[in-house]
Amino acid sequence: MVAEDDEKQAELVRRYLEREGHTVTLVRDGRAAVEEIRHRAPDLLILDVMMPKTDGLDVLRILRAETYELPVLMLTARSTEDDLLLGLDLGADDYMTKPYSPRELMARVRTLLRRTRPPGPRPAAEPVLAVGTLVVDPHRHEVSVDGARVECTPGEFRILAAMAAEPGRVFTRQRLLEELHGYARYIGDRTVDVHIMNLRKKIEPAPRRPARLLTVFGVGYKLADPAKGAGRAVS
């Protein structure tokens, strides 16, 4: 689905997507985007920030509040870091500023679809990952802490699944960026920091004194089992 009020921009994106074999639904305002997503359940949303009736950021707030986990790639004419971080904080998976290269946009679409809906059946023996009472189920795309379900965005889930597969390993920001997007040329380190901050709010009893998702200063982050006395980190 493409939510873009600029008709020329929307048609350009539609042509490129259809050239790659995608079926595309176009909407011109945020309110229509929310209603169509509820009705059609698309595989990916390309979302412009500046739209009539309901802007892109409010669309994202609504979708994440309703626990929609579809990947969202935001488009905006705004280019400040604050705007980027706000979009990511609300649950966007990727972010491009206008003007952008349609070919790069298609590359990012392919990456998001590949990482959120891998082609072919999942392996039957794909293991459930447990780090103490934190459980990540890649097959069901579910996370729980102390038996309680935790809702994660696709980006947050990819980071957590990668770290849960290797508990105790220190992941650099660069490595986590690769988990998120498959590349890091256009995305800054702050992207990872925002996802880590949001994950701590969801999986830590005291997010300001994390016991699971730890900072290794000057290096990156690691996932630990608090019951094993791995120590604490300052966010």
Q: Model confidence over 68-89: pLDDT tens digits?
A: 778 899 988 766 666 677 777 7
**Does residue 175 carry a pLDDT above 90?**
no
- Say if CB 133 and CB 146 are below 8 A apart: yes
When the pLDDT of each residue in the chain is averaged and rounded to a whole number, the result is: 84
Confidence of residue 97 (pLDDT cuts 50, 70, 90): confident
Instruction: Determine what percent of the chain is predicted with pLDDT higher than 70.
Output: 85
Q: Which residues pair with 52 in a beta bridge?
A: none
Q: Please, which residues have CB within 8 angstroms of residue 15's CB and are 6 or more apart in sequence? A: none
- Say if CB 19 and CB 103 are below 8 A apart: no
Confidence of residue 122 (pLDDT cuts 50, 70, 90): very low
pTM above 0.85, yes or no: no
**Does residue 235 carry a pLDDT above 50?**
no
User: What is the mean predicted confidence (pLDDT) over 183-212?
Assistant: 81
Dump pLDDT digits (tens) for 1-58: 999 999 999 999 999 999 989 999 999 999 999 999 998 889 999 999 988 888 889 9
Tokens of 71: 């990947």
Q: Please, which residues have CB within 8 angstroms of residue 67's CB and are 6 or more apart in sequence? A: 151
Q: CB-based burial of residue 45 (10 Å sphere; 0-12 exposed, 13-18 middle, 19+ buried)?
A: buried
What are the φ and ψ backbone dihedral angles of 225, each rounded to 5 degrees? -95, 115
Query: Tokens 């698309």, residue?
Result: 42
Give the Cα separation of 72 and 59 in Å (integer).
Answer: 11
**Within its chain, how far is the Cα of 79 from the centroid?**
19
User: What is the mean predicted confidence (pLDDT) over 120-145?
Assistant: 80
Instruction: Tell me what pLDDT residue 47 has.
Output: 94
